Chains A and B, each alone.
Chain A
Amino acid sequence: MTESTETFKDVPCTFCGCLCDDIDVQVEEGRIVKITNGCAISKERFLGHMENRCPWPSVKGEKVSLQEAIERVVEIIASSKRLLIYGLSSTENDAQREAYKLAELAHAVVDNTTSVCHGPTILGAQESGKAGASLAEVRHRSDLVLYWGANPAAAHPRHIPRYVRQPGEYIQDPKEERKIWLVDIRATTTSRMVDRFIRIEPGTDLDVLLTLRALIRGHTLDASEVGCVSISELEEMATAMKSAKYGVLFFGLGLTQTRGRHRNVDAAIRLIQDLNAYTKWTMMPMRGHYNVSGAHKTSTWVTGYPYAVDFARGYPRFQPGEYTAVDMLARGEADALLNIASDPVAHFPRAAVAHLMRIPVINIDPKINMTSTAAEVNIPAAIAGIECDGAATRMDGLPLYLKKIVEPPEGVIPDRDILRMIHDSLQKVMKK
């Protein structure tokens, strides 16, 4: 490598569901030295990509070769009865597809982080459908943007600056002609950025959504307040929503993770559908990890189902609550875990983690994470969008090609190749 400086333009960032693809990355002698346009988290992701890496494959903490690690992985899988494959949202589509292929061979369950992110959104859509949105259309047309149970300033930092507070073809002044509201249970940085903040009582999202739906349909309600919001304020909101020319609801985990789960989203879906009788409204889930949308998308075309898929019978079956990772672990049903590109030890409830600690765990990740400490086998992977290419899906369904900017560390290969090697080795073992 010479002392060359190379600038890669229009690189998609692989952090959150915004998948901003206007990042310019400057590379010097094979190292990323500067990025332009990304948010603070994006900067950390690119500039800090070499920090805290899983340095080499290991079994029980001992360094081994990749081949040896894979042999141990195959032993674990072959001797398990109920393998759970989980994660997949922070890696690219090809890796996800390899995971389904492996799950089919191993008659395993394969679930992705959708189950603890917008799984309830999908369940709500399975009840009622969904009038979706697209980011450019929001920029061009929306005059009322409603965030509900989301905190983009924390989780999607450029969502408002890059996608919403921008002029569009039919909205020239995004400050005056576009109003941004936030409904949440607490004040946040986002609530200080928007034009109007409506605080509701925790656990009352369903009540408030149904109330709005009733008010929009012209019903009078025998209540003075709902969710600690006065009826008169809710009536005023309903009127404003009906009078908007193009409204969009961006909703987050505040709807999916609270009391009511998918029923909250179902209510929001029906509200948006109802509003379409009066004016134009669409909705979009704020997908967290950069490729969780890709995970449910690839799972759906390959298996027919978006997450919580079981191959025990040699064909895909779908059942949240049964084949979702938290449930499979909390119930003690999984007797081995293959975790790819996620961190269940950090993000799962205690009973699920407690069981995880009792079973053999295989962890494939670029960095050392909390699950690494629990895993019997750790295999380092290349970071998609920085050290290997691939494809991912933005929160509004736009697929984007992820670029390879620099070489991965010595001996580190992409997830998809690791999974392929596991599959092929397992196949050989199973033939015997």
Chain B
Amino acid sequence: MTAQLVLKNGVVFDPANGIDGEVMDICVSDGKIVEKVSGKAKVIDLKHCAVMPGGVDPHSHILGSKLGIARLISPESNRHHPYPATRNTRSGVAGIIPSSFATGYLYSAMGYTTVIEPALPAVKALGAWEEIDDIPGLDIGLLPMFGNSMITYRYIQDDDISGLAAYIAWTMKKVGGMGVKVVNPGGTYAWAYGGNVCGLQDPVPQWDVTPRKIMTSLAEAVAALGLPHPLHLHPNNLGRPGNVETTMQQLDALKRAKIKGKDRRAVHLAHMSFDCLGVVEDGMAKWKDVASGGLTFAEYYNKNKHFTVDLGQITFGASMTMTGDGPFQYSLYLMSGGKAKWSNIPVDVELPGGAGIVPFTFEPKSPANSVQWAGPLEFALSVKDVWRLVMSTDHPNGGPFLKYPLVISWLMSRKQRDIWLEMVHKNARERSTLPEIEREYTLNEIAITTRAAPAKILGLEKTKGHLGVGADADITVYGFNPEKTELAKRPDLILKYFTQAKLTFKGGQQISKKGIVGKQIPSRVLSVHPELNDDLSARIDMELEEMMDKWFSHSFSNYPVPMRYRQHLEIPKVIDSTAIRA
């Protein structure tokens, strides 16, 4: 159905295939990148514009009930950002937490084509699928949360990795998930009675499990299933000055557990900016003593290769914090002196305690926020292997995804960093080594950290994040000639060209041009369906029915998302997990 297309004379950055700024043609046929096409193909001469695969965002809160509550309670965040309808596109609002249609269009305008929603309460997945029907132009993945589920704890307490793996597999199939998310394991559960769990070995109330056990068991189950994406972790102690130490301990625990994941990766650490805060020498674990943990963590990262990371970069300005970390969100409310609009959303059985939402503004002149800004940059600019690192802002926590070009400019341009170091509070200069760092990310490295690396980490590297034969024809053309544009010296141009892609193609269809979306195409959902052997399958059906009947306040049979909401959207990847013993 899709026409054949040739994009000629682009300056291509395709790191997965070793292409770093070569002038070449890209051939598209039927939504895929192919070797060659017939003479009847439509030809677009890119005239040496930069070309990258479509952007891949592994961690962005773009749908679901906590985002819905955030929009609900903060109309002011969207009032001044109308997004008018056009002949081909729906209207909406485009503030820091855009409405659903606008979310799709805005990502397309920026050249992104794959986005992962990183925290889904599986029991509420039906709502997510309905909402996806109203988010156009993307391939979307969903990560259901398991780290605070009563069912997870039952299996871990019984040392039953098979049961745990089967529960995960069952959930993936019933709700169309793609990976396993863990948020503040044990801590959010404790929040159901107002507590938290901070130490790796601290007991989780009412259960005989610890955060360490939860993490390692889930990582083991993920590996046993052969899921393409490793455990996706929001660690304990998020947002606490000094937590770089506990985060490293948490990663060590996974290293020692010797989880044999794909590429020997045991875990993906989400939004390191919130996980890797340091303190000044002889300082206390308090905000006034916060220092960048970026260098410390980079050193750890360079030595220990069993994990990958996304940045969660702070971008300053209004943001919306929303995580499944109920106690952390409450602490933000306390920090505001009880003035902030704090919301909490528990979810039956799977997230007791619940997710929290607090609108937040990162101030450049804030002594603490300036350090929070410097830390992840210091980290990203100090690591050796960019293939394990993804640029993100943990949208909308560190900042809205609309500010990705700003983050790119900080990575690519020392000049830009110097400008901002002047603007922000001096703690950024004094409590990090950022001012001394000269490194500037090349376009190749940007292509890695926004395309090739996330695709690989998500297990999508066959079809996403690259422009070789067999890839989905998700292509971004930027409006500058890399051979003639010195981006590092002109950070304003980085902002200009990365904010609105010149052309964005999704599955070979041109959907946006110079930031205007001219074509609305439905999104798709990438999921995994782990197949269990018959015995384990029968066991898990029986055990889950028993547990869910006991613990939920609705019917077990109404848990799965009906195919009627999925069949027109879902692209499931079947994996063979039959080796797991019943």
B-binding residues in A (CB < 8 A)? 9-10, 12, 19, 21-22, 93, 97, 101, 104, 122, 125-137, 139-141, 162-163, 166, 169-170, 245-246, 273-274, 276, 279-280, 282, 296-298, 300-306, 311, 313-318, 389, 391, 393-394, 396-401
Contacts and interface: CB of A to CB of B under 8 A. Distances in A.
A323 to B, nearest CB: 12
A311 B91 contact: yes
Contact of B75 (A126, A169, A246, A298): A126
B98 interface: yes
A300 B551 contact: no
Given A125-B72, A316-B92, A399-B130, A131 B342 contact: yes
A132 B124 contact: no
A352 to B, nearest CB: 24
B118 interface: no
A93 B346 CA distance: 23
B99 interface: yes
B71 A400 contact: no
A302 B348 contact: no
Contacts of B72: 122, 125-126, 296, 300, 306
Contacts of B338: 273-274
A302 B99 contact: yes
A234 B495 CA distance: 59
B487 interface: no
B518 interface: no
A393 B554 CA distance: 12
A17 to B, nearest CB: 13
B91 to A, nearest CB: 4
Interface residues of B, number: 68
B92 A302 contact: yes
Interface centre among A101, A318, A398 (most CB of B within 10 A): A398
B348 A136 contact: yes
A245 B206 CA distance: 14
A302 B78 contact: no
A315 B82 CA distance: 6
Contact of A301 (B63, B95, B124, B193): B63
Given A129-B73, A137-B192, A398-B348, A302 B101 contact: yes
Contacts of B84: 313-315
B134 interface: yes
B349 A21 contact: no
A311 to B, nearest CB: 7
B199 to A, nearest CB: 21
A21 B102 CA distance: 34
B194 A280 contact: yes
A400 B554 contact: yes
B557 interface: yes
A400 B558 CA distance: 7
A136 B552 contact: yes
A311 B99 CA distance: 14
A136 B91 CA distance: 37
Nearest to B150: A169
A37 B194 CA distance: 35
A58 B407 CA distance: 59
Interface in B74-103: 74-75, 78-79, 82-85, 90-93, 95, 98-102
